[in-house]
């Protein structure tokens, strides 16, 4: 997870044995509850990110898409 000027980049690099995990992160006063699914057991690469039910393109969550509290689903693959 990397803070950027225009948002938060999520591009995990994890052991292939991690099939799912979650974390909480605060970014610019906004809370993000992040759930990561890695059913294929890859070590890196994001195929899909959904924030508050809306799919975004790429791996950068724009600040404009964030609410006070956010649910983020990251699918690796």
Select the CATH number that applies to the domain covering 2-76 from these four: 2.40.50.140, 1.20.1290.10, 1.10.10.10, 2.60.420.10: 2.60.420.10
pLDDT in tens, 15-70: 999 999 999 999 999 999 999 999 999 999 999 999 999 999 999 999 999 999 99
Q: Whose CA is closest to 2, among 21, 35, 13?
A: 13
Report how far residue 12's alpha carbon sits from residue 29's, in angstroms, rounded to the nearest whole number: 22
Judge if pTM exceeds 0.75.
Answer: yes
Q: Which residues, 6+ apart, have CB-to-CB distance to 42 below 8 Å?
A: 16, 76, 77
Give me the residue spans of the domains in the chain: 2-76
> Looking only at Cα atoms, what is the longest distance across the chain?
34
Note whether 57 and 68 are within 8 A (CB).
Answer: no
Please tell me the predicted confidence (pLDDT) of residue 52. Answer: 98
């Amino acid at each position: 997870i990397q803070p950027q000027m225009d948002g938060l980049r999520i591009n995990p690099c994890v052991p292939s044995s991690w099939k799912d995990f979650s974390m909480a992160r605060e970014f610019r006063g906004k809370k993000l509850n992040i759930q990561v699914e890695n059913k294929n057991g890859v070590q890196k690469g994001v195929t899909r990110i959904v924030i508050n039910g809306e799919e975004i393109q790429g791996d950068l969550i724009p600040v404009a898409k964030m609410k006070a509290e956010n649910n983020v689903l990251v699918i690796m693959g």
